[in-house]
Amino acid sequence: MYHVVQILFSLQLPIALAVTGSHFTLPLNSSNNKCSPTLSRTPRDIKSVIYIGVILSDGDKDVEKAFENGIQAANEVLSQSGTLSSYQLEPIIQFVPRDNVFIATQQACKILDRGIIALYGPSSPSLAQALLSLANRFGLPYVETHWSLAPPKSTYAIHLHPSIESYGIGLYEYLTQVEKWKRMTLIYNKPESLLKFTTLVNNYEGTLKIKSWDENASGARAMMAELGSGSEKNFLVDIPSWQVSNFLVMAYVHNMTGYQYTFIFTDWDIATLDLTAFKIDVGARIKAISILPKIMTLDMNKARPSEMSIYRKPIHETIGSKDLSNGNPTIQFSLIYDSLILLAHGLSTVTRTRPLLPQKLSCERPPGLWPLGLSLINAVKSVASETIRGLTSPFRFDKHGLRTLFDLTTLELTQGGFKPTGVWNIDERMKVAKQPAITLPKQLPKTKGVVLKVTTIPDAPFMIPIKFDAYDRPLGTPDAWMGYCIDLLNEIAADVGFNYTVHITPDRQYGSGIDFGNGTVFYNGIMGELIREEADMAVAGFTITYEREKLVDFSTPWMTLGGSILFTRPKSQKPSLFSFLQPLSPQVWLYVIVTYLAVCLCLFVAARLSPHEWTAPHPCDERGDTRKNQFTLLNSFYYNVSALLNQGTELAPHATSTRLLTGVWWFFALIIIATYTANLAAFLTVENMKSPIESAEDLANQEKIKYGTLKSGSSRDFFRTSSLPTFKKMGEFMDKYPDATVSTTKEGIDRVLQGNYAFILESTWNEYYAQRDCRLTQVGTLLDSKGYGIGFPQGSPWRDPVSKSILKLQNAQILANLKRVWWNDLTSQNHVLCFVNQGKLRVH
């Protein structure tokens, strides 16, 4: 037994003599230089010291406080032990340079010479390995409280951190059985930390992506930007707790705060942080995994005394709140605390049958095993979990000192901080508290704290990008866009209460199902993003259809429309050689010719029959007195055609019959000439244009003019599923000629302008583009009737509030105002309306 007494002397001052565990005073009378001390002590208060060796790296100075508090709790255990009530533990702490094995070994040898019963190692793997070898050499228990990715197996070692195998099993079962993740992204900090997830990686059957976390700010931002634009929503994050806040800030910046996002952090000190500022109603779920229970959040008045007595004394009385982080001990603090309690219980067990005889060990003499070393380490490993409740209880160790039994607590961030949601251990497996379903409050708080991810497709007049980054990509901020949908979205966001960022769907398609033939249907475009919950809502010219309604949710329609055909206006034709005949129809020309011939013949016959048309020859005529008739057959034709051409002639009828006949012809010629002249003037001023197609039936019954829709969208689905013969035939044509469909509306417009192509699209776009380009026009009537709506993932809590907001906007005539601004108010956009008169005047 070793008794330590410390006496402090001071000249001309009272001397304080301290005995460990008690105090007594020796008053000195400096006068006459005589010392007459008065000693007052109680022998049973003097306690023997049991030393514990502690070697720490220079970077481990923050754990020194943990030993001070842990020693107090361990000494309380010893004081309740019958055999060791007169003993107390005391650590001998030495700091050594990190990774300097030589100095660490020297300091350890000095501590061994003091007669220690156990040796605590540092966090440095190289130093820990050297000190473990030294402990094995002397048969001294070695305690490791730092995380070791490859802990050395030793009879004399004990590792307080859970074993990688047991931890991996718990993590795998939680992610697959509770969270039921089919896809996830693992973010790790250091390559060696991936060893913790070996069991998960080897057994996980879903889609697993692995990303490396860059502690450099620029690298971290680049990675978060990539994740924010990707499709992954479930993240397992293994980064230091002090970087978690930065991670969540970057997640907020990159719009990863929607309710479909889940972040599970694996750093065991995460629960000590105050992250309530990142908790958003109906926002991303932030969870953590730890072996530390939420001690300080438990209600002491409601807890059972048997469960809380072990905590009430050591934690709330022995440990001051200044030693805790956010009301909870850190993992390093807790493991040191628990190891000292386990060591105290082990000492109590060993000394029941044999005396405690610490032995001074020397590195300079031949090594010898400490007789009690093996018994002590086995006693520590054998401490029953029922008899001790440490901060990280329960405990069980295998023969190599690896910890196989522990409670893995799952936590979820709430407005009041992290709350436990379940517990896993190797014996009882996963026990989960029933979690309420995510529901939207009756009235969303208008705090502007929620940032929703809006997926869209750039397409005028709905979504028009106006600001771009250095790579000519549209920015995601609301002020980087303009258009009908942006104005609509701003009105809804102000009414419902949220912020948003704009994301362009990668393939710029509205989305259709692709059947792979094995029962699997893959949806691309906006539909795919909503089905996979990669976006909070879709705002674009997104048509509501029956097939889409079965897979995603839609708001109230904010615009009604129908399918239509966009084609080029008929081009003016060059006048032909006989274009002068166009004022009158061929039938009229035929009737005029027949009438002309008939009148000429009648005039010839009438002149022949009437004696008044026969005149005597001129006296100077040498041919005699034979009478002549001026209306020969040739003169009859000449006379009538002169009347048609408004030209005079020397011929004049004399007989009543011929005069009557020519008078009627003159009147007929007057009407025909007036009509022809008026119609000719109209043909000279009005272009004669004719469209080769006038309806959908015209398109379906020919193949010279190609026609098509967007490659993926409601228009394409309409023709694919239609049972009407005309539309079914048109759908088969598009299947036969895949190149007839286009990827974007702009591409379709360009093909129409190139000629011999009709683009089938919604009437809203048809009207918009036809008003802005006089070369375009709508052909025929609407093919169907449908509406545009805002799309949501199924079960989205935002659908009902947004639908109510749309109804408010309709009632206030705001939607009609927006339509007038973006379709008809062309003055502000430097456009003019196209008016083309296609009418014709023709006599039939």
**CATH code, domain carrying 272:** 3.40.50.2300
- 640 is written with which tokens? 């009538």
Of 766, 784, 802, the residue at which a domain comes to its end is 784
Task: Judge residue 306's burial from the number of C-beta atoms within 10 Å of its C-beta, 0-12 exposed, 13-18 middle, 19 or more buried.
Answer: exposed
Same-domain status, 588 and 609: yes
Q: How far apart are CA 678 and CA 583, in angstroms?
A: 8
- Rounded CA gap, 475 and 504, in Å? 10
Q: Is 105 found in the same domain as 181?
A: no
For residues 153 and 401, is the Cβ–Cβ distance under 8 A? yes
Could you give the angle at the alpha carbon of 807 between the alpha carbons of 801 and 812, nearest 5°? 125
| CA of residue 182 relative to chain centroid, distance | 16
**In this model, does residue 4 exceed pLDDT 50?**
no
Rounded to whole angstroms, the Cα distance separating 351 from 373 reads 12
pLDDT confidence band for 516 (50 / 70 / 90) = low
Per-residue pLDDT band at 37 (split at 50, 70, 90): very low
Inter-helix orientation angle 656-685/586-609, to 10°: 160
Residues 67 and 30 in one domain: no
Neighbours of 646 (CB within 10 A): 11
The residues with which 559 forms a beta bridge, in sequence order, are 788
Domain that holds residue 16: 5-44
E strand segments, 12-133? 15-19, 22-26, 48-57, 87-96, 116-120
Sheet with 499-504, strands from edge to edge, namely 499-504, 451-456, 537-538, 791-792, 553-554
Rounded-to-integer distance, Cα 391 and Cα 423, Å: 15
* Domain match, 237 and 182 both: yes
Give pLDDT, residue 686. Answer: 67
Q: How far is CA 727 from CA 287, 359, 760, in A?
A: 53, 98, 12
Which run of H or E residues covers position 7?
strand 5-7
pLDDT of res. 623: 62
For residues 559-587, average pLDDT: 82
Output the 3-class SS for 239-265: CCHHHHHHHHHHHHHCCCCECCCEEEE
Contacts of 72 (CB under 8 A, 6+ apart): 314, 318
With beta carbons less than 8 A apart as the criterion, state whether 582 and 688 touch: yes
The rounded distance, in Å, linking the Cα atoms of 371 and 358 is: 9
Question: Tell me, what's the pLDDT at 308?
Answer: 34
pLDDT in tens, 653-710: 888 888 898 889 899 989 988 888 888 887 777 665 667 888 888 888 888 899 999 8
Query: Is 327 found in the same domain as 251?
Result: no
First to last CA, the chain: 135
Confidence of residue 321 (pLDDT cuts 50, 70, 90): very low
Query: Does residue 394 have a cis bond before it (omega within 30 degrees)?
Result: yes
If asked whether residues 504 and 524 sit together in one domain, one would say yes
Question: From CA 67, how far away is CA 89, in angstroms rounded?
Answer: 11
Q: Per the domain annotation, does 822 fall within a domain?
A: no
Q: What is the pLDDT of residue 449?
A: 61
Residues 6+ apart with CB under 8 A from 688: 572, 573, 582, 840
* Distance, CA of 797 to CA of 792 (rounded, Å): 9
Q: Same domain for 204 and 284?
A: yes
Number of domain units in the chain: 6
Q: Residue 829 domain-assigned?
A: no
What does the pLDDT read at residue 395? Answer: 87
Q: Which of 450, 81, 98, 482 is nearest to 282 (CA)?
A: 450
Residues 657, 631 within the same domain: yes
Give Cα 305 to chain centroid, integer Å: 47
- Please tell me the least confidently modeled range out of 51-65, 249-263, 422-436, 490-504: 422-436
> pLDDT of 550-560, one tens digit each?
899 999 999 98
Q: Does residue 819 fall inside a structural domain?
A: no
Is-contact 491 442, C-beta < 8 A?
A: no
Per the CB < 8 A criterion, the answer to whether 492 and 805 are in contact is yes
Residue 748 belongs to some domain of the structure: yes
For 774-833, write each residue's pLDDT tens digit.
888 888 888 888 899 999 999 899 999 999 999 999 999 999 999 888 887 654 444 445
The full DSSP string for 549-585 is HTTSEE---SEEE-EEEEEEPPPPPPP-TTGGGTTB-
Annotated binding residues for L-glutamate, written as ranges, equal: 543, 548, 714-715, 762
Same domain, 554 and 497: yes
- pLDDT band for position 492 (cuts 50, 70, 90): very high
Q: Would 214 be classed as within a structural domain?
A: yes
Crossing angle between the packed helical segments 633-644 and 586-609, to the nearest 10 degrees: 130
> At 772, which amino acid appears?
R
Q: What CATH number does residue 547 fall under?
A: 3.40.190.10
Length of the chain: 844
Q: Per the annotation, where are the binding residues?
A: 543, 548, 714-715, 762
DSSP state of 34: B
**φ/ψ (deg, to 5) at 451:** -115, 115
Same domain, 612 and 703: no
How high does pLDDT run on average in the chain? 80
Amino acid letter for position 800: D
Cis omega (within 30 of 0) for bond into 461: yes
Nearest CA-CA partner of 11 in 25, 38, 30, 27? 30
pLDDT in tens, 585-629: 889 989 989 999 999 999 888 888 888 878 767 667 666 567 787
Residue 272 pLDDT greater than 90, yes or no: no
Residue 129 placed within a domain = yes
Q: Are 164 and 196 in contact (CB under 8 A)?
A: yes
Asked if residue 673 belongs to a domain, the reply is yes
Verify that 170 and 285 share a domain, yes or no: yes
CA angle 235–241–244, rounded 5-degree value: 50
Q: What is the pLDDT of residue 305?
A: 35
Same domain, 109 and 9: no
CATH of the domain at 668: 1.10.287
Which among 410, 355, 402, 359 is positioned nearest to 381, based on CA atoms? 402
Distance CA 801, CA 172 (A): 38
288 within 8 A of 239, measured Cβ to Cβ: no
Verdict on whether the full-model pTM lies above 0.85: no
pLDDT in tens, 279-319: 766 678 899 998 876 543 333 333 333 333 333 344 444 44
C-alpha distances (whole Å) from 124 to each of 64, 160, 310, 679 are 16, 16, 32, 104
Does 838 fall in a domain?
no
DSSP codes of every residue in 263-308: EEE--TTGGGS--GGG--TTB-EEEEEESS--GGGS-TTTS-HHHH
pLDDT of 320 strictly over 80: no
DSSP 8-state secondary structure symbol assigned to residue 502: E
Query: Which two tokens mark 307?
Result: 């469960």
CA 468 to chain centroid: 20
Beta bridge mates, 236: 186, 264
Q: Which amino acid is at 162?
A: P
pLDDT of residue 844: 44
pLDDT per residue over 705-760, tens digit each? 999 998 877 788 888 888 888 999 999 999 888 888 998 888 999 999 998 899 99
Q: What does the radius of gyration of the chain's CA atoms come to, in whole angstroms? A: 49
